């Protein structure tokens, strides 16, 4: 049992596991921010432009089920919330795309800035170096 615990600690303390956990937490918070931007900032003007429609309230109310007990609210298909979630997803996907694109550009720039290996010495210098090495051996 102790060995298993040590293996688990070693696994959990690896950098990539911790980085993944931080990424998930930040991703969740970022998703909430994007959802708020979509529902509170983007969708109200769009709804206003098309006649004062509140997308989050768009739904199709299904007819009352004759078998349902009295006082039960009718079921509804909330397609407005679905549309809002699609827009949330598209904005998050675009933001992640732009982030990855920026990271790739930075990594390409770093690779191009890495110092190159020094150029090979001219042939006469190489020949003199070989002669020197042979003289040292004898």
> Are the CB atoms for 76 and 126 separated by under 8 Å?
no
Per-residue model confidence as pLDDT tens digits over 103-116: 888 888 877 766 67
CB atoms within 10 A of CB 13: 9
Per-residue model confidence as pLDDT tens digits over 14-65: 767 777 777 888 888 888 888 888 888 888 888 888 887 777 788 898 887 7
Q: Domains in the chain: how many in total? A: 1
pTM of the model: 0.54
- Show the domain range for 20: 2-137
Burial 75-93 (b: 16+ CB within 10 A, else e): eeeeebeeebeebbeebbe
Give the domain CATH number at 60.
1.10.1200.120
């Amino acid at each position: 049992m102790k060995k298993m615990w040590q293996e688990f600690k070693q696994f959990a303390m690896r950098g990539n596991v911790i980085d993944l956990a931080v990424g998930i937490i930040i991703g969740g918070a970022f998703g909430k921010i994007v959802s708020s931007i979509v529902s509170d900032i983007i969708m109200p003007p769009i709804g206003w432009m098309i006649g004062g429609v509140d997308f989050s309230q768009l739904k199709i109310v299904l007819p009352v089920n004759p078998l349902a007990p009295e006082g039960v609210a009718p079921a509804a298909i909330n397609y407005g919330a679905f549309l809002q979630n699609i827009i949330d997803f598209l904005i998050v996907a675009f933001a992640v795309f732009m982030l990855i694109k920026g990271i790739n550009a930075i990594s390409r720039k770093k690779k191009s800035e890495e110092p190159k290996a020094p150029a090979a010495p001219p042939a006469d210098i190489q020949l003199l170096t070989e002669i020197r090495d042979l003289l040292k051996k004898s």
